[in-house]
Amino acid sequence: MADRYLRFTGTAPGRFLTRRLGLPQPAALTRWSPDRPALDGGLLHLTAGRSALGLAPVLARTGIGPAGSGPAAAVVLDATGVRDVEALAEVHAALHPVVRSVAPSGRVVVLGAPLDPADHHQAAAQQALEGFTRSLGKEIGRGRTVNLVRLTDAAAAESTLRFLLSPKSAYVSGQVIEVGAPQGTVPPDGDRPLTGRTALVTGGARGIGEAVAGTLARDGAHVVVLDVPQAEQDARRVAERLGGTALLLDMTSADAGARIAEALPDGLDLLIHNAGVTRDRRLVNMPSERWISVLEVNLASVLRTTDALLKDGTLKRGGRIVATASIAGIAGNAGQTNYGASKAGVVGLVRSLAPRALDEHGVTVNAVAPGFIETRMTAAVPLFIREAGRRMNSLAQGGLPVDVAETTAWLAHPASGAVNGQVVRVCGQSLLGA
């Protein structure tokens, strides 16, 4: 369903009226397209504190040239050298003069260092960057985003910086992303980095799953569209359009992992857990079957199939697991105790499994956590609840399935091996939750 309010605020009368009434003024976001693969404008590289990152060569490869005299499309502030409260003044001094001039739909990326457990002054100063970044994201407006990346190696963060400094990250704001030691390889074809890789997308026949399948196929992957037998027509339609394969099975079946392995004798590179259901009702009115069905589809099946595909080696070394959590699993949501529990369980899975999966299998494990995304499901939500969902984030609008898909594609990228154990909210910086 079209966001009529967003379109209205894009008109001169709409801007005048919403400004006079103090109403949200969402800006139309610039998203990736073949005609617009990069942000319009240049990049401004700033520093606070003493840094030895050697960031310039990495930024030069992001596809954004140095900022000229006009508005900057992106600002990168290297604050990895900030080690005390006094140095935080340099953060203010660097960004205060330029924030207002960042172009609409522009990007601000702050680079921080991991917290040093042996130096509480450094830890305090670096943690301060998180509060700073989230707060700036809530005030910067005009479709601009602000994110914090903690890193120790600039090259390891290249795929992350490419994503955050591109139109592909339009609905990702207020996030803190930790980048570890260098892992993975840079693919030879930058436009189709997943060439030669096989991706399995569960729940891929419609909605967000269909968008994820399409984006991975765009990036070169052979996509296996998995969905329940009842969705056969849609699954085959999507697979045919993408030059992929349809796989019909119920993920809750005990032998789902074995059947996936049988269908993929040459192995799997990308496992995208997207399948999910809702059975909303307040706990006092929720029968046990509604609780059990949601936990079974959204969490238990994810655990079982992941364990099976790792154990039997179907998921290859260098592979990626990306699971779908939800803002409901982070902040909670009335009427969704079952759904919130299942999606919080996905977060727990990611945080526990990620280090072991990388050490033992060479596979990274991450999650995306969508907020209010414009789908057929949210179009059926009552008007006032739907409008609240759209406006209660820093961008004052709902996201699109492609926003989740682009974030998934970044986490699935061969060069994103240093990103592990992360739960990235695709929510326009929801005003709910952390």
Contact of 152 with 112, CB cutoff 8 Å: no
In the numeric block, the tokens 């591109």 are attached to: 166
Contact between residue 357 and residue 433 where contact means Cβ atoms under 8 Å apart: no
CA distances, 391 to each of 18, 221, 311, 395, 430 (Å) = 13, 35, 44, 8, 9
- At 104 the three-state DSSP class reads strand
| 100: DSSP letter | G
Amino acid at 317: R
If you search the block for the tokens 């960031």, which residue do you land on? 55
Residue 370 near residue 396 (C-beta atoms within 8 A): no
In sequence order, what DSSP letters do the residues of 411-426 get, joined into one string?
Answer: HHSTT-TT--S-EEEE
Please tell me which residue in 339, 390, 395, 415 is annotated as part of the active site: 339
Question: What DSSP line would sit under 166-228, residue for residue?
Answer: SGGGTT--S-EEE--S--S---S-SSSTTTT-EEEEETTTSHHHHHHHHHHHHTTPEEEEEE-
**Cβ neighbours of residue 59 under 8 Å, at least 6 residues apart?**
43, 45, 76, 161
3-state secondary structure of 247: strand
- Of 273, 322, 278, 330, the C-alpha closest to 302 is 273
Q: What are phi and psi of 235, to 5 degrees?
A: -60, -45
Q: Phi/psi class of residue 369: alpha, beta or left (left: φ > 0; alpha: ψ in -120 to 50)?
A: beta
- The yes-or-no answer on residue 171 being catalytic is no
Provide the token pair at 413: 């990228």
Strand segments (E) across 339-412? 364-370
Angstrom distances, CA of residue 240 to CA of 235, 314, 397:
9, 24, 32
Strand 42-49 to 176-178 pairing: unpaired
- Residues identified as active-site: 339
